[in-house]
Amino acid sequence: MLQKSVVELLNAQINKELFSAYLYLDMADFYASAGLEGFENWFKIQAQEERDHALLFRQYILNNGHKVSLGAIADPSREYKDYKAPLEGALEHERFVTESINTIYTEALKVKDYRTVQFLDWFVKEQGEEEKNAEDNIRKYELFGDGKGLFMLDQSFMARVYAAPSLILD
């Protein structure tokens, strides 16, 4: 059994991960409208990864004998002023998610729930990668986002392929 406070935070995290998927899908749509299929591809795959994260939290809650509660997912629609704006929005969002994971971690430590701490370790590492990816994308855009460089950058984003998460819960 897990502590109620931890289960509540884990359930809330499902919603945040699904919102992340929604947000990145909206960003993919923005780029699709602009004809930037590589950027679209990158964010569609990012959305898939976020769905995977949500499912991992769901499975962890179920594996520990608790009830999953799914709340409404907020409207992710945003207006983006240029091609760089979603990249900056993605970094800001990943920093928010990192804070959220840290909050669960802190609570788990407080109640001596070392099982959840161990589960969250994967997400702590993952968030480091997510933030770095978002920072790298902004840097690449700043270097190559103009004119012909944008075409090359779009091509490189097209090369991203989906990979299932390395964390597996049965």
Q: How far is the CB of 46 from ligand FEO (least distance, A)?
A: 7
Q: How far is the CB of 121 from ligand FEO (least distance, A)?
A: 15
| ∠ Cα 157 160 161 (to 5°) | 155
* Interface residue with ligand FEO, options 20, 41, 116, 137 (CB under 6 A): 20
| ∠ Cα 137 143 149 (to 5°) | 95
Size of the chain in residues: 170
* Interface residue with ligand FEO, options 26, 107, 113, 130 (CB under 6 A): 130
Smaller CB distance to ligand FEO: residue 2 or 97? Answer: 97
Please give the residue whose beta carbon sits closest to ligand FEO in the complex.
Answer: 53
In the window 37-76, what residues touch ligand FEO (CB under 6 A)? 50, 53
Asked whether the beta carbons of 152 and 141 are under 8 A apart, the reply is no
d(CA 128, CA 122): 10
Would you count residue 97 as binding ligand FEO (CB under 6 A)?
A: yes
Q: How far is the CB of 35 from ligand FEO (least distance, A)?
A: 26
Would you count residue 113 as binding ligand FEO (CB under 6 A)?
A: no
Would you count residue 26 as binding ligand FEO (CB under 6 A)?
A: no
- Concatenated DSSP letters of 65-126: T------PPPP-----SSTTHHHHHHHHHHHHHHHHHHHHHHHHHHTT-HHHHHHHHHHHHH
For ligand FEO, the binding residues (CB under 6 A) are 17, 20, 50, 53, 94, 97, 130
